[in-house]
Structure 1
Amino acid sequence: MSYLIVNADDFGLSRGVNYGIIESHKNGIVTSTTLMVNMPAAKHAVSLAKKFRTLAVGIHLNLTVGKPIHPNVPSLVNDKGYFHSKKDILNKANVFEIENEFRAQINEFYRLGLDPTHLDTHHNLHGTEPVNSIVKVLADEYKLPVRQLYKDKKSMNKLEFCSKFHGDDATYETLLDIVECARINPIEMMCHPGFVDHHLLKHSSYNIQRIKELDILTNSLTITTIQKANIKLRTFKDLGFI
């Protein structure tokens, strides 16, 4: 049996993104999403998640967009209280403050009333150190699986991660390639569907592209292709990672 997890990143980034993710789940192939708890639309995302319980929700740990949850992490923010940019954060961040902020985000997720299925990071920051080591510690502590950015022969999680479906490569042809790969190994496919709203245009350079992704993820041809390939759409929880 072949499996595919389709995870929509950035749940909570804006209401438009939230609605796009829900649409991609209700009428498309998205099975899972990860929530940014420090974003303005996080509570809106949670309210939607509680209505659509079949959508699995994990935690999108974030160090690069918005403001922190923890009240005292000065090395993570600029003089206006916002996280440093992606290119600056790792040069300026204190390791202990990264861990404190991530733990605060995880605890906030639970406080919002959801049970997380897994962890990943905004901009896949856990592909670098020291973030990777910190996330591993927290994953063990909270007993949650983590998005595997690279093949790890020692890991019990044999799920391969695919980030191809993004930007100019967010095409039906790319999706076909991912489906073919899923015939051999279970795959988690990252995606970023969404409807465009004012907040998204103002705060994310990846905006109009989300509509394109949404269209492909909900296209009847996409759904039929996956069915004909006998690929089962699953979540981290379905596959027994938690």
Structure 2
Amino acid sequence: MKKLIINADDFGYSRGINFGIVDAHQLGVLTSTTFMTNMPGADHAAELSKQHQELGVGIHLVLTCGKPLLNQHKTIVDSNGYFRKVDFYKGAFTIDYEEVYQEWKAQIEKFLSYGLIPTHLDSHHHTNSFGDIPNIFIKLAKEYDLPVRNNMVPKYSRILQEEGVKTTDSFLYVLESSIKDNQTLDQIFEGNHSVEVMSHPGYLDKEILSGSSFSYPRVDELELLMSEKIIELFRNRNDIQLSTFKDI
């Protein structure tokens, strides 16, 4: 059986995002999400996670949004104590990687403090794939014995395999073109047994409209994930199991 994980990033960003993700799961085909423990909607997301235990919930490690959980950082924050923007990490950059390790470990520990069991690790804005950060990411995955998103260059994909860190065979960035119809589903599983597709569903509230450059497409993705056409598409595919990272 082929396994498809449809994951929603940004759980915990805000109440609007949280409710959108839960609706995409309850009323649509969303199977998985990843949790931002440093954002204003984190406590609300934790409550929803406990209410909807069939939704796989991993940890969305954050380095480029909001404030860190720890306050001693020097190189991964700006002068006001906020995380640096993702543009800082595009191209050459210099940071203390120990700060990344300690911050991300704190984010994982906060998730665990809610009494939740994580399904996997990924990161906001794919920062786990920048510079030497993949080494930190893999170290934490091994430390907590968690699967990870398969979004790194082949060098690190090989290391994942060598270190026994689980991941999917393939990872796709664009929701609509991945689950559009039977033809696209057949294409994404060519040579693959397990596939993750990333999504960002949500309802728009002030936190998103004022804080995120990615806003209105979230509503479109939510509509797609809950559309009868897509639900029927998967209902008729006996060869594809809608899965979470616990299933790989």
TM-score (norm 2): 0.89
SS at match of 1:46: helix
* Alignment equivalent of 2:243, drawn from 231, 234, 242: 234
Q: How much does 1:184 deviate?
A: 4.6
Q: How much does 1:93 deviate?
A: 2.4
Residue correspondences, number: 235
Amino acid at match of 1:188: E
Question: Superposition pairs for residues 91-170 of structure 1, below 5 Å?
Answer: 91-150=93-152, 152=157, 155=161, 157-165=167-175, 170=176
Aligned to 1:182: 189
Render the CA deviation track for 1:111-162: whole Å, top value 9, x for unaligned. 1221101000101111222111100011111111110115635625343111
Seq. identity, %: 39
Asked if 1 retains the 8 angstrom alpha-carbon contact of 2:178 and 2:197, the reply is no
Aligned to 1:209: 217
Are residues 99 and 172 of structure 1, via their aligned partners in 2, closer, same or farther at CA, if it must alter by over 3 Å?
Answer: closer
Q: How much does 1:182 deviate?
A: 3.0
Asked if 2 retains the 8 angstrom alpha-carbon contact of 1:34 and 1:60, the reply is yes
SS at match of 2:247: coil
Q: How much does 1:75 deviate?
A: 1.3
SS at match of 1:45: helix
Asked if 1 retains the 8 angstrom alpha-carbon contact of 2:7 and 2:32, the reply is yes
Structure 1 residue ranges (4+ consecutive) displaced by more than 3 angstroms after TM superposition? 150-154, 170-178
1:105 and 1:174 map into 2 onto residues whose CA distance is 35
1:106 and 1:228 map into 2 onto residues whose CA distance is 38
Q: How much does 1:91 deviate?
A: 1.9
Asked if 1 retains the 8 angstrom alpha-carbon contact of 2:19 and 2:202, the reply is yes
Question: Superposition pairs for residues 9-158 of structure 1, below 5 Å?
Answer: 9-89=9-89, 91-150=93-152, 152=157, 155=161, 157-158=167-168
Amino acid at match of 1:164: V
Asked if 2 retains the 8 angstrom alpha-carbon contact of 1:164 and 1:174, the reply is no
Question: Superposition pairs for residues 191-202 of structure 1, below 5 Å?
Answer: 191-202=199-210
Amino acid at match of 1:161: F
Asked if 1 retains the 8 angstrom alpha-carbon contact of 2:76 and 2:99, the reply is yes
1:190 and 1:123 map into 2 onto residues whose CA distance is 12
1:175 and 1:14 map into 2 onto residues whose CA distance is 31
Which sits farther off after the overlay, 6-15 or 229-238? 229-238
Asked if 1 retains the 8 angstrom alpha-carbon contact of 2:180 and 2:230, the reply is no
2:218 and 2:168 map into 1 onto residues whose CA distance is 28
Structure 1: give runs of 5+ residues left out of the alignment: none
Are residues 83 and 153 of structure 1, via their aligned partners in 2, closer, same or farther at CA, if it must alter by over 3 Å?
Answer: closer
Which sits farther off after the overlay, 149-158 or 68-77? 149-158
1:67 and 1:206 map into 2 onto residues whose CA distance is 19
Q: How much does 1:238 deviate?
A: 2.0
1:106 and 1:149 map into 2 onto residues whose CA distance is 20
SS at match of 1:79: coil
SS at match of 1:23: helix
Amino acid at match of 1:51: Q
2:123 and 2:101 map into 1 onto residues whose CA distance is 13
Aligned to 2:232: 224
SS at match of 1:6: strand
